[in-house]
Structure 1
Amino acid sequence: MDKTNIKVDFSIIGDTLHPCIATEQLKINPQKSWVKGDDIEGRSFKRKDTCWVISTEYEESLDINEQLLKVVAILEDKQKKLIELKRTYNVDYLFGIVVNIESNEKPTMYFDSKFIEFAHDIQAEFYIDLYIFS
């Protein structure tokens, strides 16, 4: 039987910050990155922005905060650097939460105060994608 699983991405999105600069400044290697104008594999489109992404794997979970706080733990000592990058390169920060609901096992979906404070301090936005499987 499949279990509900959750993945969280943290993305730095912009046009003027090359992913190599983010990697160098944050001293974190991204799971993926691309530059505006790069080809999108398997499609006839080009990337519309530059992006640097770290993420958790899909993990069996019934609380989105488990994965969110793993990502925050990686980034929290980089908070000042993230604020500086935002100011210098006019980037956006985005937390993406992807929830695969299996067998009607719905996870707890609220935001821990530690996450709210961190997201506020770096001026991050977030989205939630829900996929329901029976």
Structure 2
Amino acid sequence: MVRSRDRTPSPPLHRRWGGRARTSPPATPPSPPSPAASSESSLPERNTMELHQIISQHTDGLRDIIRRTSEMNYQLFLSQLPPVQGTAPESTGRSVICRVCYSRAACMLVLPCRHICACKSCEVTLTHCPICASTKANAVEVS
């Protein structure tokens, strides 16, 4: 029979998993990096920089293509719109008519609403805009 004092002590059990504790080998100082290792570590950085450069070059080109395509689409869209009739005085041959006397051309801009709605002689009598009924603060002649 073996007595407990005759036994050699066993390594302690690992507390977390219940197994034997592992002993690690003595620490050795790290060796200095070799030139090949340093070039390998900078390779990913270099590749990343090259990739960013290529992406930025292609991004600028794509922006230009998108801009030109948008301009062409806009011009095509405008060319397909039917002409609007009777909205511009130049297209109808008529000018804006005074909203007070309906006989002369309107040349007075009413402030603050900015409607061109009266001739010079009718504007003197206005206290309110004949279009929106806002109180007239001032009037300016436009040509």
TM-score by length of structure 2 reads 0.19
Q: Which has the higher strand share?
A: 1
Q: Which has the higher contact order (CA 8 A, sep 6+)?
A: 1
